[in-house]
């Protein structure tokens, strides 16, 4: 019987990993579910090998705001189909489950899928099980039940999802945020916060209540809710919030990415802390396909530096999720989560959610590896 040094070796024309300092041609070798070696030239034999001379090999992509759910969520999509096979190996659920159904969510989605899933538990005890706003009536608010679920869920539950936008919240947004902060203080967890329209509640007042480590999402929206002021500059209250340690997630979604707003922010040197897709059921039939590589491509077209993009879908969200060293790295000993992309310069145009387009190619997934298992049927 032939003995092999490695289970899997992947070679690419370019490997980028901030943790190892590698940016250039190289190889990654895997034994079991661990990265065994990363270098310009891995020596040894392998049971399976892949070669991508035009490929860009990155740590497995991390999406900090999306809707992975096998069932029980009006927005949920099958994680292994919608995310893993498109190069995203780790996903944070934005409120798909609440205290009433988080146990089922943990069993079926967190533990039942190949994709690594973490939950920002919905402050609404019903989560997103039903149609309509998740904060429809006072009965859905149960701070004690939410806190108890977080304690019981341990590492499965990262933080608390609280979206007080008009689409999601019929109740007083002040009261909902107050309840969320109460749970956050009791449990030591951060918030993933969707803001109220500033016509109802000023951005400055909302940000003043948030704490270091809380994450504000949907930041590149245009129109009434915008981080860019009438003078074309980033709002001073947003800059002050960042100085206090509040984090900002550039979630794309169906309504939340404007090239105009992103370009103004980038011109000012204001980059998001994380880049996410808000991928949910309505995206399933989208053409071209909505995913994290295409979202990354839009940020590149808007002028965000390449290495900053890679960090926002790798080591930065991994750090926020408490997974540094395990995820977002190609360092030996880390989990063997990898993504191989190739640039397609003939891809469908890059269009924002306001129907504005920008020239530029699109990164497309060629291979995903999750815990040492390769998925190539993209």
Indicate the pairing of strand 215-216 with strand 191-194: parallel
Cβ pair 124, 169 in contact under 8 A: no
Alpha-carbon distance values, 214 to 144, 162, 165, 372 (Å)? 20, 11, 17, 32
Residues 295-315 have pLDDT tens digits of 999 999 999 999 999 999 999
Q: Does 1 score more than 50 pLDDT?
A: no
Fold category of 67-320 in CATH = TIM Barrel (3.20.20)
Mean pLDDT of 133-154: 95
Residues 242-295 have pLDDT tens digits of 999 999 999 999 999 999 999 999 999 999 999 999 999 999 999 999 999 999
Q: Does 85 score more than 50 pLDDT?
A: yes
Give 187's contacts (C-beta < 8 A, 6+ positions apart): 147, 150, 151, 160
Fold category of 6-59+332-375 in CATH = Urease, subunit C; domain 1 (2.30.40)
Q: Does 21 score more than 90 pLDDT?
A: no
Helix orientation angle between 173-187 and 143-153, rounded to the nearest 10 degrees? 40
Residues 193-245 have pLDDT tens digits of 999 999 999 999 999 999 999 999 999 999 888 999 999 999 999 999 999 99
Q: What is the pLDDT of residue 132?
A: 87
Question: CA 265, CA 299: separation in Å to the nearest integer?
Answer: 11
Exposed, middle or buried, 343 (CB in 10 Å: 0-12/13-18/19+)? Answer: middle
φ, ψ for residue 288 (rounded to 5)?
-70, 165
- Could you tell me the residue ranges of all domains in the chain? 6-59+332-375, 67-320
Whole-prediction pTM value? 0.97
């Amino acid at each position: 019987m032939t003995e092999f040094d490695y289970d899997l070796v992947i070679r690419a024309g370019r490997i980028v990993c901030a943790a190892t300092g590698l940016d250039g041609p190289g190889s990654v070798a895997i034994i079991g579910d661990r990265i065994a070696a990363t270098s310009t030239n891995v020596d040894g034999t392998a049971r399976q090998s892949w070669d991508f001379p035009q490929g860009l090999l990155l740590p497995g992509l991390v999406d900090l705001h999306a809707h992975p759910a096998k069932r029980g969520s009006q927005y949920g999509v099958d994680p292994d189909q919608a995310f893993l096979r498109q190069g995203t190996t780790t996903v944070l659920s934005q409120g798909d489950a609440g205290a009433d159904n988080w146990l089922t969510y943990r069993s079926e989605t967190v533990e039942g899928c190949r994709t690594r899933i973490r939950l920002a538990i919905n402050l609404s005890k019903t989560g997103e099980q039903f149609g309509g706003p998740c904060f429809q009536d006072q009965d859905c608010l149960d701070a004690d039940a939410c806190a108890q679920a977080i304690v019981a869920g341990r590492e499965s539950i990262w933080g608390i999802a609280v979206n007080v936008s008009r689409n999601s919240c019929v109740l007083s947004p002040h009261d909902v945020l107050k309840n969320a902060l109460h749970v956050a203080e009791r449990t030591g967890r951060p918030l993933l916060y969707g803001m109220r329209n500033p016509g109802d509640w000023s951005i400055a007042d909302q940000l003043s209540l948030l704490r270091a480590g809380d994450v504000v999402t949907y930041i590149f929206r245009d129109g009434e809710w915008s981080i860019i002021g009438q003078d074309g500059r980033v709002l001073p209250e947003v800059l002050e919030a960042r100085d206090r340690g509040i984090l900002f997630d550039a979630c794309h979604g169906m309504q939340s990415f404007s090239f105009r707003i992103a370009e103004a922010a980038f011109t000012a040197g204001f980059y998001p802390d994380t880049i996410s897709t808000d991928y949910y059921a309505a995206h399933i039939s989208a053409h071209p396909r909505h995913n994290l590589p295409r979202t990354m491509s839009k940020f590149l077209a808007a002028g965000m530096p390449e290495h900053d993009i890679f960090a926002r879908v790798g080591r930065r969200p991994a750090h926020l999720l408490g997974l540094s060293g395990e995820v977002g790295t190609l360092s030996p000993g880390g989990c063997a989560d990898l993504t191989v992309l190739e640039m397609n310069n003939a891809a469908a145009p890059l269009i924002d959610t306001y129907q504005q387009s920008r020239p530029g190619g699109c990164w497309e997934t060629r291979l995903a590896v999750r815990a040492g298992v390769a998925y190539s049927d993209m």
